[in-house]
């Protein structure tokens, strides 16, 4: 998955990326290592026997937190002569543990020099990503009689890796070694423990008292079993759907992350390996996708984002009062303010989406207490939309970074530098306003009006919000409609000029409900039309646009998460067949990735490539790709909370067969949903 032949195991934001032998030899282009708190605690971890490197016969990533490697000495051509087997079994859970087992298959005794080279460069994740490796502090290594201590110190900032072993070893500054004598058929093993420390001046660890669950292997296994047992069951005639669902559930469990300030409660991190931290946008959208299956993630996400909501103006962090954070980091560059992620607030969609999630969560869960608990934060978010985001003073959400060195240029989900353009391919000046964010703002106001009326006892505020929403919808439909193409512009520039390219962003507008009814069919037709729809899914940018490129990050690839929200939007406006078409394409694509949808894949036509071409990215699993199949399931089944019960109105593609989703949790207790595939997609294409 993702990076070529790397094995990844993780627990929270501690994870190990290694080669298929289990070795770690980090180079700028091979970002392997043991990572924790956004820093690399091991950059070298190489096992040799009698000075010889080992070769992988096979490996297993048993669970997301453990892996096993079967190795033999020597090069590939020597396999037949192997008289030794070596098994490395490893797990992360708080610390990183590796069990080494060596078996002698020879008829005579052997003497072995078993050595592990160990080293740590303490690179910040941002330095690894951007290949900057000159450290400002001091690296140190101390070999003691029973442990090896690798450390990094810069002022009061200290990170340490401490390596110890269940068997006595000889430690030196570059690793440790054992002298092993093995009789015929004898076996030797040792348990190696690698602890990571974020040491404060008092010697206390930064993470003290923060645990999601026990870190022991059994506790991790128990936690995963409980997580799966708690979720609804999916049975299906479609041979892959149940497997895709299970893969998603397990990946979602792996991506749970406990921030330092929440006392061990979890929310979805954005993705492995670069994004094992909280992101406002990614965490919220993932929660929305998985609400029918794992509603408790929404509650913790809303709480943590509320507790870190912006409270002042800070130009370095692009922080404003009421703004919801974009990204939080714990590494050296955040600590020394070389990067603004402590936390960084440069996103314009997280704030309205925060309000949207709170309302949607209540509609499912009936958790009125949380809606009341977060009233102040919701009002602050709505105030941010009106007071601080409207940079052009015309009633839209705009963005322009104030941190011009390390802040983000594009503060919408398509955040690469060239994602927003005019039809002639040129890039607009700042501030910019993208269409889908206006939809989120509309939806936030409509939903906040419901909350104000029903739970905050403030009908006047509700009326005001509804008036504002109606005015926004009218204004938007006037200013953003591209008359000759019959779709909405991707963005506006500060002069009100349209970035008039055809993009996937307009699909989100259906989800938000800002599309005028008489225009919805035109948008739906674009979504499944030849310029945007490839047979697998909707491209980020339509074929025929100047910047279109089937493997352009935000200019032509297909993003499963994007598609899941588009399908939800189509369903909302009654285009159930079109929604099913998209769901079917994305779920078909998932089967080519063993049920684990990547961040993005190529926008080539389906008939041309026959299989979905993965975008060369290092990030997998990624939370909102993991959540996509779950939202598509919801969409196909037409699951919708309605006056205290769960409405089910399935429209499945023909090949899908029968689907049952059992024990869907919500304000109704637990209910089941059943569906049978009827829709003939070929007819739709005529």
| Residues that bind other proteins in the complex, under the rule CB under 8 A | 155-158, 199-202, 204, 206, 209-210, 260-263, 307-309, 311-317, 319-320, 330-331, 334-337, 342-343, 373, 376, 388-389, 391-393, 400, 402, 431, 494
| Three-state DSSP state, 299 | helix
Report the nearest approach of other proteins to the CB of residue 284 (Å). Answer: 19
Residue placing its CB nearer to other proteins in the complex, 396 or 440: 396
Report the nearest approach of other proteins to the CB of residue 199 (Å). Answer: 7
Report the nearest approach of other proteins to the CB of residue 252 (Å). Answer: 25
Residue placing its CB nearer to other proteins in the complex, 370 or 538: 370
Residue placing its CB nearer to other proteins in the complex, 25 or 338: 338
Residue placing its CB nearer to other proteins in the complex, 340 or 621: 340
Q: Which residue has the tokens 């509700």?
A: 462
Beta bridge partners of 347: none
Report the nearest approach of other proteins to the CB of residue 189 (Å). Answer: 38
Residue placing its CB nearer to other proteins in the complex, 312 or 478: 312
Q: Tell me if 353 sits within 8 A of 284, measured CB to CB.
A: yes
Report the nearest approach of other proteins to the CB of residue 493 (Å). Answer: 11
Q: What sign results for the dihedral spanned by CA atoms 483, 484, 485, 490?
A: negative
Residue placing its CB nearer to other proteins in the complex, 84 or 125: 125
Residue placing its CB nearer to other proteins in the complex, 51 or 393: 393
Report the nearest approach of other proteins to the CB of residue 388 (Å). Answer: 5
Report the nearest approach of other proteins to the CB of residue 501 (Å). Answer: 23
- d(CA 298, CA 228) in angstroms, rounded, equals 17
Residue placing its CB nearer to other proteins in the complex, 335 or 632: 335
- d(CA 566, CA 149) in angstroms, rounded, equals 51
- CA 626 vs. chain centroid, Å, equals 8
- CA 571 vs. chain centroid, Å, equals 25
Q: Tell me if 283 sits within 8 A of 291, measured CB to CB.
A: no
Residue placing its CB nearer to other proteins in the complex, 51 or 201: 201
Residue placing its CB nearer to other proteins in the complex, 310 or 552: 310
Q: Tell me if 223 sits within 8 A of 182, measured CB to CB.
A: no
Token pair belonging to 597: 């949808």
Residues in the chain: 686
Q: Which residue has the tokens 């079994």?
A: 89
The Cα-based distances of 549 to 420, 557, 599 in angstroms read 14, 8, 17
First to last CA, the chain: 37
Report the nearest approach of other proteins to the CB of residue 503 (Å). Answer: 24
Report the nearest approach of other proteins to the CB of residue 313 (Å). Answer: 4
Q: Can you count the helices (H) and strands (E) in the chain?
A: 18, 29
Q: Which residue has the tokens 């290694």?
A: 18
Report the nearest approach of other proteins to the CB of residue 332 (Å). Answer: 8
Q: Tell me if 243 sits within 8 A of 237, measured CB to CB.
A: no
DSSP string, 393-452: SSSS--B--S-TTTS-S--SSS-STTSS--TTSPPP-SSBEEHHHHHHHHHHHHHHHHHH
């Amino acid at each position: 998955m993702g990076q070529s032949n790397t094995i990844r195991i993780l627990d929270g934001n501690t994870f190990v990326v290694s080669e298929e032998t289990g070795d770690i030899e980090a180079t700028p282009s091979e970002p392997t290592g043991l990572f924790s708190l956004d820093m690399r605690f091991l950059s070298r971890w190489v096992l040799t026997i009698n000075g010889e490197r080992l070769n992988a016969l096979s490996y297993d990533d048993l669970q997301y937190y453990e892996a096993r490697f079967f190795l033999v000495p020597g090069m590939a051509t020597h396999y037949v002569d192997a008289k030794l087997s070596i098994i490395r079994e490893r797990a992360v859970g708080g610390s990183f543990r590796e069990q080494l087992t060596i078996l002698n298959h020879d008829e005579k005794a052997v003497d072995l020099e078993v050595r592990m080279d160990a080293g740590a460069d303490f690179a910040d994740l941002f330095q690894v990503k951007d290949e900057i490796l000159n450290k400002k502090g001091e690296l140190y290594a101390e070999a003691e009689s029973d442990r090896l201590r690798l450390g990094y110190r810069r002022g009061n900032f200290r990170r340490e890796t401490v390596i110890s072993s269940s068997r006595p070893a000889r430690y030196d500054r570059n690793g440790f070694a054992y002298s092993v004598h093995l009789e015929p058929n004898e076996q030797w093993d040792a348990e190696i423990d690698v602890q990571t420390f974020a040491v404060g001046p008092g010697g206390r660890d930064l993470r003290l008292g923060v645990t999601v669950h026990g870190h022991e292997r059994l506790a991790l296994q128990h936690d995963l079993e409980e997580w799966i047992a708690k979720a609804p069951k999916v049975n299906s005639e479609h041979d892959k759907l149940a497997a895709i669902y299970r893969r998603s559930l397990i990946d979602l469990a792996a991506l749970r992350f406990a921030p330092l300030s929440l006392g061990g409660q979890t929310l979805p991190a954005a993705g492995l390996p670069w994004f094992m931290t909280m992101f406002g946008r990614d965490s919220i959208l993932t929660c929305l996708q998985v609400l029918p299956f794992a509603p408790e993630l929404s509650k913790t996400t809303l709480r943590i984002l509320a507790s870190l909501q912006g409270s002042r103006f800070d130009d370095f962090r692009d922080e404003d009062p009421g703004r919801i954070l974009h990204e939080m980091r714990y590494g050296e560059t955040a600590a020394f303010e070389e990067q603004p992620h402590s936390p960084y607030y440069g996103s314009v969609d997280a704030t309205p989406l925060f309000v949207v999630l709170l309302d949607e969560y209540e509609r499912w869960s009936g958790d009125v207490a949380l809606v009341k608990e977060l009233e102040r934060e919701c009002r602050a978010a709505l105030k941010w939309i009106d007071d601080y985001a409207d940079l052009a003073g015309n009633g839209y959400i705009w963005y322009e970074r104030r941190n011009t060195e390390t802040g983000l240029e594009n503060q919408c989900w398509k955040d690469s530098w060239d994602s927003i353009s005019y039809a002639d391919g040129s890039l607009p000046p700042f501030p910019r306003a993208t269409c889908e964010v206006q939809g989120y703002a509309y939806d936030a106001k409509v939903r906040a009006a419901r909350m104000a009326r029903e739970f905050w006892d403030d009908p006047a505020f509700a009326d005001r919000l509804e008036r504002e929403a109606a005015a926004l919808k009218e204004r938007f439909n006037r200013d953003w409609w591209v008359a000759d193409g019959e779709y909405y512009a991707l963005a506006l520039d500060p002069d009100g000029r349209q970035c008039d390219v055809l993009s996937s962003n307009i699909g989100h507008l259906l989800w938000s409900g800002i599309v005028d009814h008489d225009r919805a069919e035109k948008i739906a037709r674009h979504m499944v039309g030849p310029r945007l729809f490839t047979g697998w899914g909707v491209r980020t940018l339509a074929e025929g646009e100047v910047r279109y490129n089937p493997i352009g990050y935000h200019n032509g690839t297909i993003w499963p998460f994007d598609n899941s929200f588009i399908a939800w939007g189509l369903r909302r406006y009654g285009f159930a067949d079109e929604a099913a078409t998209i769901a079917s394409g994305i779920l078909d694509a998932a089967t080519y990735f063993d049920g684990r949808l990547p961040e993005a894949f190529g926008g080539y036509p389906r008939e041309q490539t026959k299989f979905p071409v993965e975008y060369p990215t290092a990030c997998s699993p990624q939370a909102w790709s993991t959540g996509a199949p779950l939202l598509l399931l919801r969409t196909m089944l037409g699951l919708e909370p309605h006056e205290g019960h769960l409405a089910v109105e399935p429209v499945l593609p023909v090949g899908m067969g029968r689907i049952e989703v059992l024990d869907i949790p919500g304000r109704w207790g637990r209910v089941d949903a059943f569906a049978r595939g009827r829709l003939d997609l070929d007819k739709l294409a005529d």
